[in-house]
Amino acid sequence: MSEPNEVDLDKPNAARVYDYYLGGSNNFAVDRQMGDEAIAMWPELPQIMQANRAFLRRAVHCCVEQGIRQFLDLGSGIPTVGNVHEVAQLAAPGSRVVYVDTDPVAVAYSKKLLADNADADIVRADARDPEAVLASDEVAALLDLDQPVAVMMVALLHFIGDESAPREMIARYRDALASGSFLCISHATDEGRPDVADEHADLYKERTATPLTFRSRAEIDGFFEGFELVEPGLVFLPQWRPVSTSEVGDNPERVTGLAGVGRKL
């Protein structure tokens, strides 16, 4: 399929660079160039992104096990293997999923991927505008906000700077959700690799439209206000309900991403 006309081929895009890290093909030369620079700076990046993707799958399974059949995936990015709808609908057929992203490439490819799936759709919108997202036709068609919903903010919030008031943004989503809803967050932290975090953040600031903000454990924990964290709490990505102990490794902090799932009280 042809690329959307508004795609800027001269500037890397964080969603497409992430797709490149995961071994996807929905990226351009400018994205691959930045990805290669970042990997040269931080060779473990592909493994970190894979750990993040594995957390997403485990978090979806956790929510399904708790009876959740509705998912809102904010900042969903480029479609790749192990999407929310694939995991949720395999575990619980009939689960309904709405993806949200601003990137025209992510939206175009998602529309193509979901064309024959009546229980999943994508809306092109800015996750920082909860009212617009929740009032969209796609959400109205697929999600019943009077019933519990799992909101996925996986590798999203570190692309939302403090000037956009992410904590207040999350609260607006929370207040629109029914009790028993879930919030799933993964977020970059500099606590594991402070030696490379600043240089990596500078690369995103200089090259993309979405600067990267590393946050502390306390700051990320604060995003769960109004939610009760489920076991094992807020931990490094490999430590969140691993399928086997071998997934955790000897130094999980080197993954430099924290993850948690909370249930609305």
pLDDT reported for residue 250: 64
What percent of the chain is predicted at pLDDT more than 70?
88
| Euclidean distance between CA atoms 76 and 152, whole angstroms | 8
The token pair at 144 is: 């019943």
Residues 133-163: tens digit of each pLDDT? 999 999 999 999 999 999 999 999 999 999 9
Half-sphere exposure of 4 (CA within 13 A, CB side): 17
- Residue ranges in 66-129 assigned as alpha helix (H): 84-91, 104-113
SS3 176: helix
Residues 80-94: tens digit of each pLDDT? 778 999 999 999 999
SS3 262: strand
Verdict on whether the full-model pTM lies above 0.75 = yes
| Euclidean distance between CA atoms 233 and 12, whole angstroms | 34
Going by their DSSP bridges, the two strands 150-154 and 70-74 should be labelled as parallel
Phi first, then psi: give them for residue 21, nearest 5 degrees: -55, -35
Q: Cβ(147)–Cβ(63) under 8 Å?
A: no
164-168 contacts at long range (C-beta below 8 A, 24 or more positions apart):
164/128, 166/223, 167/222, 167/223, 167/225
At residue 192 the predicted structure's pLDDT band, cuts being 50, 70 and 90, is low
Enter the DSSP assignment of 6.
Answer: T
Whether residue 242 has a cis bond before it, omega within 30° of 0: no
What are the structural domains, with CATH classification, of the chain? 14-264 (3.40.50.150)
